[in-house]
Amino acid sequence: MSGKIRVLVIDDEAAILRFLKPALEANNYELTSAATVSEGIKRIAAETPDVVLLDLGLPDGDGKDVIRRAREWSDLPIIVLSARDREAEKIEALDLGADDYVNKPFNVGELLARMRTALRHRMQRKAETPVLRVGDLEVDAVRHRATRAGADLRLTPKEFELLSFLARHAGRVVTHKQILAAVWGPAHVEDTQYLRVYVGQLRQKVEEHPNDPRIILTEPGIGYRIAES
């Protein structure tokens, strides 16, 4: 990716923009902003930014409407900046197509890391690479083979499918519903206990210390995230 990375911040809090502007510009981002749902949607369509930072509480509506509309035509990374602590709202935003969320107040270093991850995933999707690498974990979709530090992982077909899905979203939280729909089908989106069992089995094979996981991390009440390092 050459030149400056264009980031659109959709947030009506002037203090957030003042806080983000110097940090983003110092890291090769070019910032533009919108303060409403309608303006945000127009700017996404007109400016095609590289990444969007989105507040959910906007003066003319809910930020989730921006996600819903944008996903009709674009796969650009959308990271929610949320002061809301209700898990249901975060889950809904992710299910609608947000790539990640960061709770307000947030650390700029964490936000920049999440942005880099989201941008990298978009580039990987475009490249359609058959081999996914997360740290020393490697998932080869063509050979249907998974290794860690060069050692083969003996996985059942469903465990491999689950690991592949998580690896494709490494560094990003994915909800229970997203995982269940992708791996087991829409009829199983409520079977969260079933998912917990499979994640437990997978950790036994992937983690050095399954009871203290460092690779497959739990996002309480929401879903799971594979760590990238």
Q: What pLDDT, in 10s, does the model give residues 4-21?
A: 899 999 999 999 999 999
Give pLDDT, residue 2: 46
Tokens 């530090």 belong to: 149
At 28-57, the pLDDT tens digits run 999 999 999 999 999 998 888 999 999 998
Q: Do both 136 and 210 map to the same domain?
A: yes
Angle (CA) 104 125 203, round 5°: 70
Q: Which of 126, 144, 173 is the last residue of a domain?
A: 126
Q: Do both 105 and 191 map to the same domain?
A: no
Average pLDDT over residues 114-126: 81
Give pLDDT, residue 11: 95
Q: Do both 148 and 107 map to the same domain?
A: no
Q: Do both 32 and 106 map to the same domain?
A: yes
Q: Which of 50-59, 105-114, 152-161, 184-193 is the most confident on average?
A: 50-59
Q: Do both 144 and 113 map to the same domain?
A: no
Share of the chain above pLDDT 70, in %: 95
Give pLDDT, residue 1: 42
Q: Are strands 51-55 and 5-10 parallel, antiparallel or unpaired?
A: parallel
Average pLDDT over residues 179-199: 88
Range 50-77 burial, b when 16+ CB lie within 10 A, else e = bbbbbbbebeeeebbbbbebbeeeeebb
Give pLDDT, residue 84: 67
Average pLDDT over residues 74-83: 88
Distance of alpha carbon 91 from alpha carbon 175, whole angstroms: 6
| Total domains present in the chain | 2
Q: Do both 138 and 122 map to the same domain?
A: no
Q: Do both 202 and 215 map to the same domain?
A: yes
Average pLDDT over residues 102-106: 86
Residue 87 has pLDDT above 80, yes or no: no
Give pLDDT, residue 128: 58
The residue range of the domain holding 188 is: 129-226
Q: Do both 184 and 77 map to the same domain?
A: no
Q: Do both 59 and 147 map to the same domain?
A: no
Average pLDDT over residues 176-183: 90
Residue 227 has pLDDT above 80, yes or no: yes
Residue 42: how many CB atoms within 10 A of its CB? 12
On the CB side of 84, CA atoms within 13 Å amount to: 19
Give pLDDT, residue 55: 94
Q: Which of 86, 109, 126 is the last residue of a domain?
A: 126
Q: In this structure, what CATH number is given to the domain that contains residue 142?
A: 1.10.10.10
Close Cβ partners of 1 (under 8 Å, ≥ 6 residues apart): 50, 119, 123
**Checking phi first, is residue 114 left (phi over 0); if not, alpha (psi -120 to 50) or beta?**
alpha
Whose CA is closest to 138, among 124, 125, 151? 151
Q: Do both 107 and 141 map to the same domain?
A: no
pTM: 0.69
Q: Which of 126, 157, 183 is the last residue of a domain?
A: 126
Give pLDDT, residue 222: 92
Q: Do both 114 and 196 map to the same domain?
A: no
Q: In this structure, what CATH number is given to the domain that contains residue 101?
A: 3.40.50.2300
Average per-residue pLDDT for the chain:
88
At 190-223, the pLDDT tens digits run 888 889 999 999 999 999 899 999 999 999 989 9
Whose CA is closest to 224, among 182, 188, 186? 182
Give pLDDT, residue 126: 61
